[in-house]
Structure 1
Amino acid sequence: MTKSVLAVGAHIGDMDLTAGPTLAKLVQEGASATIVALTPGERGHPRMTPSEYKKQKIAEGEAFAAAIGADFIVLDHSDGFLPDSDDVALELATIIREKQPDTLIAHWKHSIHRDHEHASSLAERARFLAGLPSDQEIDGMDGAVGKLAALPRHGVRSILHAENWEDMEGFQPSMYVPIPDEAFYLWVSAIRHQAFARGETYGFRYIDYYTALMTTRGCLAGYPRACAFHTNATPEITKLAGP
């Protein structure tokens, strides 16, 4: 049973779309959930400046998380230039130690978007670092390591890779999470307030796509709707939480 989950996306909205229905379901079943965006995703609007869209994206991310009952954290890295570095991994590892999740949701490792690939690698690295003994003697990173060392070690039990239309190279579902109506309609109500999800940036119909995808995965899982994830575990249908 998942009691706490941390969903890590490269940009605000990544996990809202792909893992949002699952997060809504888990919160309704009593789990705690946190959405982390490693960048605001500020360069994703063709008509707004990055600084203008950054403010809008942060407001949209905060509103989505509040609507489904999740916490929200956004780091201040640059959209399109997310570094795959230990500095960023340490930031994320510190959040893992603070939040103590038993499940981590991340991007799949292959993507048409480099930020997504880096976010996936960072999630794996942060999971490793969060479980390590740490001190303040690591080369050149005393401040970040010192902050990490002040928190108790934490081992994340499982990591799931969310299904994202930009991250499909080599992605094979091995877990289907049934999404009940209450969680689905809560997700729809929350996600429709994000401009990019409505198709107002580059025209892609994200809400329609992920709604149809949940229906398709539900057909395979034997439920009205389901979200698919990749995990190293044996393929299964699971509720992640609850009886």
Structure 2
Amino acid sequence: MLKPTLPDPVTSKAHQTAGNRTTDLGQKQIFLKLLVAQMKFQDPLKPQDPTKMSSQLAQFNTLEAQLNANKLLEKLVAAQSSGKSASASPASYLGKTATVPITSLDYGGGTQSFDVGLMQDAHQVLAVISDTNDIPIRSINLGALTAGSHQVTWDGKTDQGTPAPTGHYKLKVVAADAFGKPVEAQAQRSGQVTSVRFGKDGGVKLMVNGQAVDIGAITQISL
């Protein structure tokens, strides 16, 4: 008599996670294609409804947050397996240039510059600046960009061509390859690490451009 074979719980969980990740990637790809298509073919004299685009960006951000959480979990597991710690030698960062992702801009008038970082070549890249209510006020079509860091300058104007009010704005970068698949992209800034701070909770922060940054948020260190 054959005995029923139960699936291994670890293997089953892995398959389930992989399946969920595939579904999330597919949904993210659909939203990204929609955003790119709307920005590529919109009439410059009749910009798209910012409220509608804000809703689409909110859905895109939700999917991206899920994927980023999965990536973070995978990195933590890998770090534990290898016995390595990202904060093993924070003092070694002193004097070096750190690249830090940013999600907002404090606009004081005139032009504003930031960098866009790409993990691979992208066929289409968009930088979207939104107000504190998540309503896009300016979408910058950067076209095709190669992998690496690229400086972007915002002229301080809205999609309607009027000067944007000074204040705090949110910043988002989305990118896709020639087949419409998402390309990992982020807005970022670089600066010299001038000091290291150790928190009471064991956390480590680096001072970059006069701002305290969590050591885990730094994406690149260079000489």
Asked if TM exceeds 0.5, the reply is: no
Shorter-chain-normalised TM-score: which range? under 0.3
TM normalised by structure 2 equals: 0.24
Structure with greater proportional strand content: 2
Larger Rg: 2
TM-score (norm 1): 0.22
